[in-house]
Chain A
Amino acid sequence: AQTVTQSQPEMSVQEAETVTLSCTYDTSESNYYLFWYKQPPSRQMILVIRQEAYKQQNATENRFSVNFQKAAKSFSLKISDSQLGDTAMYFCAFMKPMPIISSGSARQLTFGSGTQLTVLP
């Protein structure tokens, strides 16, 4: 079974500064997918960034980037130039790959416990 650990229940950062959220995971799989989801007070889970384990290059999406260390099973999220709208709960998630999808099979997400990030004005 896969486990995902987020060791920082709460974090805060000043507007315009940089913050890093940590995530570690445990799996025996060699290929898999990792995600960071954001859940603002509006409740909707929004995908922030995705990383395929077979790719060595760290994923980036505008102000969001990851530091993916496969050997260490670490997947941290860096938010640059933090904005007030970044205030949210952030969940790290793991997805195991599956064979060709057919009726009766579907991929599942395993979530970490979450980090509540507050951006201060």
Chain B
Amino acid sequence: DTEVTQTPKHLVMGMTNKKSLKCEQHMGHRAMYWYKQKAKKPPELMFVYSYEKLSINESVPSRFSPECPNSSLLNLHLHALQPEDSALYLCASSQKWDNLMNTEAFFGQGTRLTVV
């Protein structure tokens, strides 16, 4: 299994809504990432979890709240978003516990988020 699964694939939400994005991997990876990607731009790192602990927060607004319930799951809770937050949100994972030198990052297909 070399998949990172993200749900939902598409999400439309109002500015007063609360929603969550989900990411799951079963590759034994110990690092998981959230990226935000605007059209025709590279992904921008938002958060990194390492061994289920928040390792990096790239000064992301508090309306984005990450959560790592266990080593296979990563959530991104959304609340009071703005229209400019509309983007593709990508999840990735890397660094299998028994091969920490492996550098390849596996990405999910992303959630296309539209804030109205």
Contacts and interface: CB of A to CB of B under 8 A. Distances in A.
A103 B108 contact: no
B48 A108 contact: yes
Given A33-B103, A104-B53, A106-B55, A45 B43 contact: yes
Contact of A111 (B42, B88, B110): B42
Contacts of B43: 45, 91, 109, 111
A72 interface: no
Contacts of A107: 31, 94-95, 103
Contacts of B48: 106, 108
Residue among B45, B88, B103 with max Cβ neighbours from chain A (10 Å): B103
The main secondary structure of chain B at its interface with chain A is strand
Residue among A46, A91, A103 with max Cβ neighbours from chain B (10 Å): A103
A35 B105 CA distance: 10
Interface string B22-51: 000000001101000000111101001111
Nearest to B94: A107
A103 B90 contact: no
Contacts of B110: 43-44
B42 A113 contact: yes
Contacts of B33: 106, 108
B11 interface: no
A114 B42 contact: yes
Contacts of B88: 43
B15 interface: no
Interface of B: 30-31, 33, 40-43, 45, 48-51, 53, 55-56, 88, 90, 92, 94-95, 100, 103-110, 112
